[in-house]
Amino acid sequence: MKQSKKDITLSEKDALQDMLDIEKLLMNYYNAALTEGSCKPFRKEILKNFTSHAETQFTIFEQMLSRGYYELQPAEQKTVDEKSETYKKVLKQIKAC
């Protein structure tokens, strides 16, 4: 038996996850447009849209976090220190070029 649209409903968690994924995807597209844009008015508009979607994405993330749909695991200090050292080494390599 074929299901109709009215028979399919998303849970709140699934709906929020879809919204979050869409906002992240839009931000990727705006980022690409921003880096490829060659005129200031276009880049200004893209940046405005990028910023707006970044705020929306963060709002959705906060809602998911507050409802227990998104779990964060704090990084151990050792991991933070290791990543920091890695990026310092990369930065030194870039500056040496």
1-16 pLDDT per residue, tens: 566 666 678 899 999 9
Please tell me the predicted confidence (pLDDT) of residue 74. Answer: 86
Tell me what percent of the residues of the chain surpass a pLDDT of 90.
Answer: 62
Kindly report whether the global pTM for this prediction surpasses the value 0.75: no
90/45 Cα distance (integer angstroms): 33
Which of these ranges, 2-11, 36-45, 60-69, has the smallest mean pLDDT? Answer: 2-11
Residues 19-35: tens digit of each pLDDT: 999 999 999 999 999 99
Query: What is the CB neighbour count within 10 angstroms for residue 53?
Result: 19
Decide which of 71 and 58 is more confident: 58
Looking at residue 6, what is its pLDDT? 67
Predicted confidence at residue 3, as pLDDT, reads: 65
Listed residue (46, 52, 11, 42) closest to 29, CA to CA: 46
pLDDT at 22: 96
Q: Cβ distance 34 to 47 under 8 Å?
A: yes
